[in-house]
Amino acid sequence: MIAKAKAEGKRYKLVCSAEKVDGKVTARVAPELVDSASPLYGMMDSSTGITFRTDVILDYSITESEREGMQGGPVETAYGLFADFVNAVT
Chain positions contacting another protein, by CB under 8 A: 1-3, 6, 11-21, 25, 27-31, 40, 43-57, 62, 64, 66, 68-70, 73-90
Q: Is residue 13 within 8 Å of residue 31, measured between CB atoms?
A: yes
**CB-nearer residue toward another protein: 21 or 37:** 21
**Among the listed residues 34, 69, 64, the one whose alpha carbon sits nearest the alpha carbon of residue 47:** 64
Q: C-beta of 62: minimal distance to another protein in Å?
A: 6
Q: C-beta of 54: minimal distance to another protein in Å?
A: 4
**CB-nearer residue toward another protein: 35 or 64:** 64
Q: Which residues pair with 84 in a beta bridge?
A: none
Element (H, E) at 81: helix 73-89
